Structure 1
Amino acid sequence: MTAAAAKSASKQRVVTLAFWSIIVAFAVTGLKIVAWRMTGSVALYSDALESIANVVTAIAALWAIKISHMPADSDHPFGHHKAEYFSAVLEGVLIVVAALLIIAKVWDSLRNPTPLEQPWMGLGINTSAAIVNAVWAFILIRVGRAEKSPALIADGRHVMTDVVTSAGVLIGLIGAIFTGWHVLDPLLALIVALNILYQGWRVMGESLSGLMDRAVDNEEHLRIRDIISSNSKGALEVHDLKTRIAGRATFIEFHMVVEADMTVAESHAICDRIEDALKAEIPSVRITIHVEPDDEAKLPKGTVAVPFA
C-alpha cells in the first residue's frame, strides 16, 4: 500500500469511528434517560447528563477530525492537525458544565430526598448502557492511539469515565436499595460530579498542552535521536534537536554539521537518508534539517561521532 493510500485509509477509519461514536452516544443517552425517568434517581440523572455531553462532544469530534485531515493550504501551510485539540478542549468544558448541573440537582435532592421507583428495572437498563460504553471506549482509545488522534482518545477517555461513573452508581444504588438510606442517592451523585470535574480538568489540560506545541516524550525523543544517528553517516555532528506534536503529526527539526567542502548533492543525500528512515518509523512526520559547515560545530574539531547537544 502506498503512503497516500495508507493515509487515506487511516483518515477513513478515524472518520468512520467518529461518526459511529455519535450513534452510540445517542443510543446510550436514550437508555440512561429512560433509567433516570423510571427511577427518579439523582445518581442516574447525573449519569444521563454526562452522556448528553458525550453526544455533543462526539459531534464536535467528527467535525474536528474532518478539519484536521484537510490538506495544507496557503493560509495553513503546516496543515490543520491542531483542530482536534479544540474538540478535546470543548469536551473538557462540557464535562465541567455537566458536573456543575449535577451539583445543583444534588443540592435540591439533599433537601428533599425521595425513595426510588422501579429501581431494579432502571439499574438493569443503565447497566446495559454501561456495557455498550465500555466496549466502545476500548475501541476509541485503541484506534485513537494507533492513529494519533487526540479527538478520538479524548472521546474514548470520556466514555470510559462514563463507564466508571455507571459502575459506581450501580454499586451505590444497590446499597441504597438494601439499606433504605435514600440520602445515598444524592451523595453518590455528588461523588460522580466531583469525578467528572477532575476528568474535565484533565482532558482540557492535555489538550492545551498540545496547543502549546508540547515536545514528544523522552522515550520517543531518544528513539528519534537513535534513528538520526544511525542514518547520518557522512555528517560530523547533529545538534539542536527539537520536536513538537500537533495532533497526529510530529514535527522534527535539527542542525546537521558537515565538512565545509562537501557538495550540496552529498549533504542532500544524507538528509534524504535520514528523512526516509524517520518517515518509515514515525507516521505523519514533518522534518526540517538545517545543514551547516564544520565551523558551526559545537563539539571539538576532529570529533566524528554524531552526538546531540
Structure 2
Amino acid sequence: MRKDAPATGGTGRSGASPARSTRFYAAVSIAAALATVGLKAGAYVLTGSVGLLSDAAESSANLVAAIGAFWALSAAARPPDEEHAYGHTKAEFFSSALEGALVLAAAAFIAATAVGRLFEPQPLENVGAGLVVSLVAAVLNGVVGLVLLRAGGRLRSAALRADGRHLLTDVWTTAGVVAGVLLVGWTGWLFLDPLIALVVAANIVWVGLRILNEAAHGLLDTALPPEDLRVVEAVISRYRESGIEFHALRTRSAGARRFVSMHVLVPGSWSVRRGHDLSEDLEREVVEELPMTTVFVHLEPLEDESSFRDQGLDRPDLEEPPPGS
C-alpha cells in the first residue's frame, strides 16, 4: 500500500503535482482586480453613470473572490494528513462557490441601484474620460481572464477557471456599459443608463449560476469527464486481452486531482507477487496517461462467484454474473 492510499485495502498510486503553482495565477488575479476596481471606480466618479457603477461593483466582487481563491488554492496545495487522507484539493470548490455567491450579490446590488436611477434619472458628466478609463480596465481584464482560463484548464483548477470566466464576462459587461453610456451621450435618453445596468445584472446572474453549478458538481464527487474515462478504459482494455476482468470502476475529481478505483479479477492460482506486480503496472499506466491521478486497485479471484457480487450496488439486478453462467 502506498503512503497516500486510505487504509481500506488495495494499492494506490498518485501522479506528481504540477510544476507551476496555481497560487501564482491567483496572485495575478488579485493584482488585476485591484487595478480594475480602482479604474472603474474612477470612471464612475468622473461620469456619475450607474452603468459604470455596476461595472465597478462586479469587479469588486471579483477582488473578494480572487482573495478567496488564493486562500483556497493555498489550502488545496497542502499534502494529505491523518485527518484528510485524500488531500485538501476540494477547497477549490469552496472558492468557486464563494465567487458564484459574490457574483449574485453584486447583481442584486446593481439591480437595486439601477431601479432607483430609473425613477430619478441623472445627467452624465465627463463621458469621454470615463469611457477611456473603463476601456483600459476591460483590456486588462481580458488579458488576465484568458491567462487564468488557460492556466485553469492546464492545471485542472476549478478556482482559476471560475475566476477566468468571471473576468471575461466582466469584459463583455464593460463593453455593454460603454455602449450604453455612448448612447446616452448621443441621444440624451437618460433612462438608457440604468436600463443597461439591469441587463448587466441579468448577465451576471447567469454567470454566477454557472459558477455555482460547477462548484456543486465538484463537491458532489461527479465522475471524471468522458475524455478522461476513455483514457482509463483504453488502459483497461489492453489487460482484458490477456484474460483479466474488471468491474466496479469508480472515478471522481477533487480540484486538480483525479481518483480512480476498480476491482481487478485475476486467476485464483496467481501468487500474491504476480497480482501485486499487475496492480503496480496498471496503476502506473493510468497515472502516465492521466497525471495528478490516484489509483486504487482491489484484486479478486476470477473463479469465485462472490467476486461479482461485491460492487457495492444497491440494486441486485445490476450485479454482473460470472463469465459462462
User: Of the candidates 296, 301, 308, which is equivalent to residue 323 of structure 2?
Assistant: 301
Partners of 2:25 and 2:248 lie apart in 1 by: 39
Of 204-213 and 229-238, deviating more is 229-238
CA distance, structure 1, for counterparts of residue 152 and residue 170 of structure 2: 18
CA distance in 1, matches of 2:39, 2:16: 37
* Residue 32 of structure 2 is aligned to residue 10 of structure 1: no
Shift of 1:189: 0.1
User: Residue 54 in 1 paired to residue 76 in 2?
Assistant: no
Other-structure match for 1:182: 190
Q: Is the Cα–Cα contact under 8 Å of residues 233 and 270 in structure 1 kept in the other structure?
A: no
Match of 1:210? 218
Distance 2:20 2:301 in 1: 40
Cα distance change on mapping 1:270 and 1:299 into 2, 3 Å: farther
Q: Answer yes or no: is the 8 Å Cα contact 1:232–1:270 preserved in 2.
A: no
Partner residue of 2:83 out of 68, 71, 75 = 75
**What's 2:72 paired with?**
64
CA distance in 2, matches of 1:25, 1:45: 15
Cα distance in structure 2, aligned partners of 1:265 and 1:6: 26
Say if 2:247 is the partner of 1:225. no
Larger RCO (CA within 8 A; separation ≥ 6): 2
Residue 280 of structure 2 is matched in structure 1 by 272
Q: Distance in 1 between matches of 2:283 and 2:72?
A: 29
User: Higher helix proportion, which one?
Assistant: 1
CA-atom RMSD, angstroms?
1.8
Is 1:168 aligned to 2:190, yes or no? no
For 1:121 and 1:301, locate their aligned partners in 2 and report how far apart those are by CA, in whole Å: 76
Amino acid at match of 1:128: V
TM-score, normalization by structure 1: 0.92
The one-character-per-residue Cα deviations of 1:82-139 (angstroms, maximum 9, x if unpaired) are 0010011001111111111111111110111111101111011100100010000000
Cα offsets for 1:128-154 (capped at 9, x unmatched): 100010000000000011001111111
Equivalent residues in 2 for 1:85-164 (5 A)?
Answer: 85-164=93-172
Aligned equivalents of 2:98, 2:201: Cα separation in 1: 18
**What is the deviation of 1:222?**
1.8
Distance, in Å, in 2 between the alignment partners of 1:217 and 1:9 is 23
- Alignment partner of 1:253: what SS? strand
Which residue of structure 2 lines up, in the alignment, with residue 246 of structure 1? Answer: 254
SS, match of residue 291 in structure 1:
strand
The structural deviation recorded for 1:239 is 1.0
TM-score (norm 2): 0.88
* Alignment gaps of 5+ in structure 2: 1-13, 309-319
Aligned to 1:306: none
Most deviating of 66-75 and 175-184: 175-184
SS in 1 for 2:203: helix
- Determine helix, strand or coil for the equivalent of 1:7: coil
One-letter code of the match for 2:78? Answer: M
Partner of 1:288, secondary structure, is: strand
Q: For 1:286, what is the secondary structure of its paired residue? A: strand
Paired with 1:260 and 1:94, the residues of 2 have a C-alpha distance of: 56
